[in-house]
């Protein structure tokens, strides 16, 4: 466990930025199967009460950073409010609604409320939050059927099913038909969807960036009262008792063991980090998930190196080392493991 942790922190020290949000930027490929991908920008023009669907921007290696693509918030059931996504369905339904609960400054808050009331159709409290609001594509000439007509049809055809999910699926299909027929692109040609308000990307807003950074920090009801020691550097200030926001987990989260004196109340003391070390860890974790992921036969694996001699001094050095590490792994271990795997019978 210590070696894994040291490797992640070592990489994080190299790639961390003065702007913490850059530690969370995901990996987006600008092409897929040798085909150029595009950015689709939902541009809400509030003064004209119009919606512009802009697909003219081609993706490149800087697109993820430009629009602050940081994945999604928690699991698929979590409230999604990040403004850059690899799927259109969040922006067609819940993103603006969830942004209305986040303080983005008085001016932007007012515009978000205006967009929610003027651009989206409210389908009622019978649906869960994810599907209560649907972007009114019919109002802007994008799909032929009104949202309420689609909703009524779904309820009539399948009243016991997931009505909200089905409505969103039909709206998304209509949107993709529009892209193909009017814009000349299929959904597979779009690599990123993002939101603009009056020609300004929401991802450029400092208040939005601060909200993203805050969302990446562990949440704890004990946080204000908690006083601990960072397991990495020994700091006693700004230490969080929870590590549940990390994606690469090498510690237990549900077992009462000797490290906590067999007490549920002491469990959180097994792994603590101050915010500086946590952001260093998250930066290293993000880099590993983006650039050190490969396959071992049919298994997805992460290669987590620890540099004992010749530690990389900057991200360029690290990228060079990473390329050699992954290539060496794929050349040396993959063929051997495939042979062993093919000769053995496994029961799961």
The CA distance from 5 to 16, in Å, is: 16
Percent of the chain clearing pLDDT 90 (strictly above): 49
30-42 pLDDT, tens digit each: 999 999 999 999 9
Residue 244 has pLDDT above 60, yes or no: no
pLDDT value, residue 310: 66
Domain boundaries, the chain: 2-20+217-278, 37-214, 294-343
Any bridge partners for residue 51, and if so which? 44
Lowest-confidence segment of 50-54, 215-219, 222-226, 325-329 by average pLDDT: 222-226
Q: How many angstroms separate the Cα of 116 from the Cα of each of 101, 121, 136, 142, 302?
A: 12, 8, 10, 18, 41
pLDDT tier for residue 219 given thresholds of 50, 70 and 90 = low
Judged against a pLDDT cut of 60, whether residue 221 lies above it is answered with: no
pLDDT in tens, 269-279: 557 788 888 88
pLDDT at 166 over 90: yes
Query: E strands within the chain?
Result: 31-32, 35-36, 38-45, 50-58, 84-85, 120-122, 133-135, 190-197, 200-201, 239-240, 273-274, 293-296, 299-302
DSSP assignment of 242-308, as one string?
--TT-SS--S-SS---GGGTT-GGGGGGGS-EEHHHHHHHHHHHHHHHHHSEEEETTEEEE-----S
pLDDT computed for residue 323 by the predictor: 87
Contact 289, 295 (CB under 8 A): no
DSSP annotation of 23: G
pLDDT of residue 5: 84
Other C-beta atoms within 10 Å of 256: how many? 14
The whole-number pLDDT of residue 160 equals 84
Question: For position 347, what pLDDT does the model report?
Answer: 35
Q: For a pLDDT cut of 70, what percent of the chain falls above it?
A: 81
Q: For residue 137, what pLDDT is reported?
A: 97
Reduced to 3 states, what is the DSSP secondary structure of residue 97? helix
Q: Is the pTM of this model over 0.85?
A: no
Residue 152 pLDDT > 60, yes or no? yes
pLDDT(177) > 70: yes
Question: Between residues 20 and 148, which one has the greater pLDDT?
Answer: 148
290, 17 contact by CB (below 8 A):
no
Residue 24 pLDDT grade (very low, low, confident, very high; cuts 50, 70, 90):
confident
pLDDT, residue 346, reads: 38
* Mean pLDDT score, 304-313: 75
Please give the average per-residue pLDDT across 189-212, as a whole number: 97
What value does the mean pLDDT take over residues 65-88? 89
């Amino acid at each position: 466990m210590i070696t894994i942790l040291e490797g992640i922190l070592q990489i994080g020290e190299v790639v961390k930025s003065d702007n913490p949000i850059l530690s969370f930027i995901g990996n987006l490929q600008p092409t897929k199967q040798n085909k150029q991908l595009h950015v689709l920008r939902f541009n809400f023009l509030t003064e004209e009460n119009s919606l512009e669907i802009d697909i003219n921007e081609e993706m490149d290696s800087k697109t993820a950073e430009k629009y602050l693509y940081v994945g999604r918030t928690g699991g698929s059931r979590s409230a999604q409010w990040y403004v850059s996504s690899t799927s259109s369905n969040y922006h067609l339904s819940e993103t603006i609604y969830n942004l209305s609960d986040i303080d983005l400054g008085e001016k932007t808050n007012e515009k978000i409320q205006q967009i929610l009331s003027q651009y989206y159709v409210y389908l009622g409290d019978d649906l869960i939050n994810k599907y209560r609001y649907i972007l009114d594509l019919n109002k802007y000439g994008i799909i032929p059927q009104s949202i309420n007509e689609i909703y009524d049809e779904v309820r009539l055809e399948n009243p016991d099913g997931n009505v909200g999910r089905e409505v969103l699926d039909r709206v998304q299909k209509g949107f993709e038909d529009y892209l193909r027929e009017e814009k000349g692109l299929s959904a597979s040609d779009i690599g990123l969807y993002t939101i603009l308000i009056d020609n300004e990307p929401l991802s450029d807003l400092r208040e939005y960036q601060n909200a993203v950074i805050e969302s990446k920090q562990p949440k704890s009801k004990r946080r204000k009262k908690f006083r601990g020691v960072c397991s990495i550097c020994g700091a006693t200030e700004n230490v969080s008792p929870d590590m549940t926001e990390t994606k690469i987990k090498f510690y237990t989260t549900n077992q009462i063991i000797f490290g906590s004196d067999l007490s549920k109340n002491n469990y959180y003391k097994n792994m603590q980090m101050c915010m500086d070390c946590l952001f260093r860890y998250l930066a290293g974790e993000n880099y590993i998930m983006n650039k050190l992921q490969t396959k071992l036969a049919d298994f997805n694996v992460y290669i987590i190196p620890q540099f004992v001699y010749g530690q990389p001094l900057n991200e360029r050095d690290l990228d060079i080392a990473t390329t050699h590490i992954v290539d060496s792994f794929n050349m040396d271990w993959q063929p051997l493991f495939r042979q062993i795997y093919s000769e053995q019978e496994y029961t799961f």
